[in-house]
Structure formats: C-alpha cells, structure tokens
Amino acid sequence: MSELTEFAPAKVNLTLAVGAARADGYHPLESIVAFTDWGDEVAATPAGELTLKLEGAGAAPLRGDPQNLVLKAAFALRAAAERPELGAALTLTKTLPVAAGLGGGSADAAAALRLLNRLWDIGFSTRQLAEIGTVVGADVPACVHARPLLMTGIGDKITPLVAWPALHAVILNPGVPVSTAEVFKAFDDGAPAPLPDAKPPVAGEFETALARLSAGRNDLEAPARSIAPAILAAMDALAAAPGARLTRMSGSGASCFALFEDAGAAGAAAAGLAARHPSWSVRAVLLQGAA
C-alpha cells in the first residue's frame, strides 16, 4: 500500500468556560470549538513496527519526547483493535506552534487515529475513534470529529453543531510557550465562576454567531496573562486591527484570535500585523463551518 496522509487542523476555542476542579483534578468545561484550514500533517506507510519521524519547522521542541501523542494514539488504536501485530512508519510534519493553545498535539493524535483506522482497515466509526482518544488526551475526542462542536464534561462529551457558519479569523501567537498546567494552577488559585448552561448554539450566519460568541468568555485568559503578559499585547494588537469584530485567547494560550466579516478583511489585518510584529506568528485562517 502506498503512503496515506491525514490533515491535523488547529483547534480554536471560540469560548471556554471552566468550572472548579473536581475531586480527581479534572476541570468541567463548556467550549464552542472550531477547526481551521491550517494545521499539521500525519503520513503513514505499512511497516513491521510502530515508528515516528518528525519533520517541519515546528518539530524541534518535540524531538526526544518519548510521550509523543501520535505514537500514544497509534498504540491505543492497536490495543483497541486487539491487533498487536499491526505496524506503521509514521511521519509528523509539524507546522503548528507547540504549547500554543491550538490543540496541536491533540490534533496530531486524532489525525493518527483517523489515518491508521484507514491504513489498517479497522473500520472503527468516528464515535469509536473519539472514545479511544479519551485515553490519549482530553482534547483528542473533539479533534477526532474536527468540525464545529460544543465540548462539555472534561472535554469528552461532544455535540456537533448542525448550523454553524464558516468564520474568517486571524490567529496571532506572540512566540511565548505557555504551560497548560501552570495556567490551570493559576486559575485554581482564583475563584472560578459557575459554568453556564450548556446549550448547543444554532447560528446560520456571521452576525448571529458573533452575538453568541460575544456572550461567551475564556476563563483561562486572566490566569494565562498573569503568566505571559505578551498575551495581552497580542490581544491588544488584534483588537486594534481594522475590521476586527471579536478578540479572544484560544485554549490556555498563548495564541489569540480575532474574527472578521470576510476573507479580505482578515487577510489585510494579518498582513498589517505581520509587518508590525515580525517576530510573532500571524496567520489568516478559515474556521470551517458545519457541513
């Protein structure tokens, strides 16, 4: 069989409400999530064992890490299929920044699950792959679906959105990696607000979606900014961009995003931001709508 590939799109938390930690340390959450046309790529060919090669501009921070989520996902899928003899030579081409609040590692793991499900002809459904993903990481089930969705529970409960528009955005990362564990520790030191009622939104066009998102929040913004002040500078720069309608941090940071009404406005804003902040990562993206 020739090489197969799978796209691993960046995940953007358009909203992220977080509750107080449970007894087991996990945090309940409610998040509207969308996926971009920007991401990593996972490739695979049949082999006698499971191996992983890292390539791409963003691969350096991952070299030497024995806990790479792509391999963890591969072993989890093989165990779930009860096929210990299965192997593959995997290649991860890393484009997304690491520790950036874009779910890059989870997206890579989810892409590996979808890819190996095809390569090995296992035949698991998307729901089954998402269940397997729960043992790999909290964000992996959402990334398996890779479509607009409402994420609740501890990230394990997924409700696909049936009416959600494609959205134009600019993602800006100030180049400061942020530890998710440190952000949650700072969050826990505060006074978490009650979680809102989780109701899947219906928004067939831009203004309706914008109104729904504007009523939301990201509860990790304040603790993340206390750890990495560059996040506030990034958000201020995005908010000042002509045409920016909503500015927010994604996930636990440090990546932030702004929504724009059309591709032209997003592209112009990205070009201006890149010129003014050459050391930052700036990207105009399309947040995919519901199919």
CATH of the domain at 265: 3.30.70.890
Which structural domain range is residue 44 located in?
A: 4-160
Active site residue 11: yes
Please state whether beta strands 256-260 and 281-287 pair in parallel, antiparallel, or not at all (unpaired).
Answer: unpaired
CA separation for the pair 250, 115 (Å, rounded): 26
Q: Which of 11, 40, 108, 219 is catalytic?
A: 11
Same domain, 57 and 143: yes
Same domain, 197 and 119: no
Tell me what the pLDDT averaged over the chain comes to: 94
* Domains: count for the chain: 2
Domain boundary among 97, 125, 160: 160
CA separation for the pair 235, 246 (Å, rounded): 10
Same domain, 45 and 183: no
What DSSP state is assigned to residue 196? P
Whichever domain contains 94, its CATH number is 3.30.230.10
Q: Which residue did the predictor score with more confidence, 222 or 60?
A: 222
Residues 224-281 pLDDT 10s: 999 999 999 999 999 999 999 999 999 999 999 999 999 999 999 999 999 999 999 9
User: In this predicted structure, what is the pLDDT of residue 98?
Assistant: 86
Active site residue 139: yes
Same domain, 154 and 173: no
Closest CA to 219 of 242, 243, 176, 250: 250
As a whole number, mean pLDDT of residues 29-41 equals: 97
Q: Which residue did the predictor score with more confidence, 92 or 202?
A: 92
Residues 114-149 pLDDT 10s: 999 999 999 999 999 999 999 999 999 999 999 999
Backbone angles phi, psi at 264, to 5 degrees: -60, -45
pLDDT at 291 over 80: no
Residues 77-119 pLDDT 10s: 999 999 999 999 999 999 998 889 999 999 999 999 999 999 9
Same domain, 142 and 23: yes
CA separation for the pair 73, 112 (Å, rounded): 7
Same domain, 146 and 254: no
pLDDT at 176 over 80: yes
Q: How far apart are the first and last CA of the chain?
A: 30
Domain boundary among 111, 126, 160: 160
Same domain, 207 and 151: no
Domain boundary among 131, 160, 189: 160
Residues 6+ positions from 255 with CB-CB distance below 8 Å: 97, 100, 101, 102, 171, 172, 173, 249
Q: Which of 40, 94, 108, 139 is catalytic?
A: 139
pLDDT at 198 over 80: no
pTM (2 d.p.): 0.94
